Copies of this chain bind each other. A is one copy, B any other.
Amino acid sequence: MSDGKPSIAVLGGTGDLGGGLARRWAKAGYKVIIGSRSAEKGINSAEELKASLPGSDVSGADLKDAATQADIVAVTVPYANHGATLEQIKEAVQGKIVIDTTVPLRPPKVGRVQLPEAGSAGQEAQNVLGDDVRVVSAFQNVAAHHLMADHDIDCDVLVSGNNVEAREVVIGLAADGGMKAWHAGPINNAAAAEALTSILIQINKREKAHSGIRITLGK
């Protein structure tokens, strides 16, 4: 950790969602390691991000090296690569917090809720990585379009995980990225945010929008 801030690997950080999160965290002063299946692609992405955010601490590596180097590991790969990525980093992330942003979309019907048999992609990650990894699911509903921009984000984040302190850490990371996040219960409650993404895809199509959700307290 530098300056008391944990370093964060963003696996799939060459993609839209991962790139947006990497950008926001780098801007907030975190050391960010962009992980890609190809180390070269990760390094190139890191160079680009660093160039657009002078003074930021960003580097690139392949998936496993990125996961090894970081204190916290965010998995932002497409669902098709989810299981393989988790197997690849399993050893490297033991004892760490893994932030899973995966939505179990099955193209081409991405507007249909099709949750996996385990209940949620978050639960699948917990099952693969084992109980010594604090898996926290979050950021499934935030449009990459907004993450990439510099404006405040009009979308809340639902944070699921079996470890409350790990959820608190992720809620803090969301805040540092300009997002309000909420405790959403144990890891399999990720099903709600994962399913919601297909609803937002439906709304985006009808309304030509980059939709999101807000929690209201209704007091």
Residues of B within 8 A of A119 (CB): 113, 115
A183–B196 touching, CB < 8 Å: no
- Say yes or no for A96: interface residue by CB 8 A criterion: no
A218–B154 touching, CB < 8 Å: yes
Q: How far is the CB of A159 from chain B (nearest CB, A)?
A: 10
- CB-CB under 8 A for A213 and B210, given A113-B192, A182-B203, A185-B111: no
Copies of this chain present in the complex amount to 2
B214–A214 touching, CB < 8 Å: yes
- Name which residue of chain B comes closest to A185, CB basis: B202
Q: How far is the CB of A166 from chain B (nearest CB, A)?
A: 16
Beyond the given A113-B120, A154-B216, A213-B216, could you list 8 further A-B residue pairs with CB under 8 A, ordered by the A residue number?
Answer: A112-B189, A143-B218, A185-B198, A192-B192, A192-B196, A203-B217, A209-B219, A211-B217
